[in-house]
A = this chain, B = another copy of it.
């Protein structure tokens, strides 16, 4: 008789976005007219057109597949050299990352999930609170946790508290963790980690022979020159960190699907018998066995983002979204709300109005302003008392949301 992976049953039933949908539907059916003007600022999905440079390269890639002379079948599982080289050269200019340390994939969500395949089941896992839920759920599915308590926290995970006092960057823990997920610029708080904070994390990881899983999916939004874009800007990180990046948020690739993961060849771990193994060889084997590479035309499109024209288009996209963030942030501050994030990230993280918790703020915005926000408590109990507004929206929607915020609190 078949047995299933019963760890799946420990998962909270994807409560955040379904619960948002449930409340929105309930409101909409009771208030059909008002609901027509609903503006969604919940999900972190890009809205602006795919850059022309990428589209042209994309279509040229498709055309290549149309002729026997230029047809390409299975590509290398780790990505084509032209893209791996472009990433090493441009995304890591001035940082030590070589092309064969770049693993191209179809998404950072997949990579941050699949990376667990190469690790043992007895590691102590540290995650921030609040957190991007995928890090938690994939550990639950892999059997690394017990059950969740009423706040949604899982037994067996080490929650690293992020709050306004530490600028939403966790303090270095006293205990020795083995795998620590860090995401900066952060989803959902929009916080960034300073060089000094990252240096402390690298020192901690080296001391404890731990691994930092560094999610830099939003690095392109950093405006402050002093903030590191890559963990590898920190000395020693090549011996303790894996970095995840994506074309989703800078190149508008959420529907196109292309990302990459850096596994330095210098990153090693010891087996129980004391044998030293490179994580690069493990990930290479994992990807070769369980993955078949990214669509060729998609890789052509991604590589085009590194041309001067592509870089200019990305620059314009980022500037546009960051102007949105500024408008949203200003509107919230003007009505007396306390605002975090939004300066180096496309997420504005806002303390709830006095007397309201996260879902209370959600209901207020939905019912009184017809704006859908994301309740902070959906990202973990550390998010309670906050809500997130995404800057990924059209300018006209953002301006309308700003107006409604002004009206809501006046």
Residues of chain A having any CB pair with chain B under 8 Å: 1-6, 8-9, 11, 14, 43, 45-50, 52, 55, 58-59, 62-63, 65-68, 71-75, 106-107, 109-110, 113-114, 117-120, 122-123, 134, 137-138, 141, 176, 178-179, 208-211, 252, 254-257, 269-272, 275, 277, 279, 282, 285-286, 288-298, 301, 394
Question: Can you list 28 A-B pairs, Cβ within 8 angstroms, ordered by A?
Answer: A1-B176, A1-B178, A2-B120, A2-B211, A3-B120, A4-B118, A4-B120, A5-B282, A6-B120, A9-B275, A9-B277, A11-B289, A47-B73, A48-B68, A50-B62, A50-B65, A55-B63, A55-B65, A73-B255, A74-B255, A109-B292, A114-B290, A138-B290, A141-B290, A255-B293, A255-B296, A257-B293, A295-B295
* Docked complex Cα distance between A149 and B232 (Å): 42
Copies of this chain per assembly: 2
Q: Are B74 and A50 in contact (CB under 8 A)?
A: no
Q: How far is the CB of A42 from chain B (nearest CB, A)?
A: 12
Chain A, interface SS category: loop
- Partner of A59 from the list B45, B59, B394 (CB cut-off 8 Å) is B59
Q: How far is the CB of A59 from chain B (nearest CB, A)?
A: 5
**Which residues from chain B contact A3 at a C-beta distance below 8 Å?**
119-120, 122-123, 178, 269, 272
4 closest residue pairs by CB, A with B? A3-B120, A45-B73, A113-B290, A73-B254
**Which residues from chain B contact A68 at a C-beta distance below 8 Å?**
47-49, 394
Q: How far is the CB of A249 from chain B (nearest CB, A)?
A: 10
* Docked complex Cα distance between A47 and B286 (Å): 26
**Which residues from chain B contact A117 at a C-beta distance below 8 Å?**
5, 141
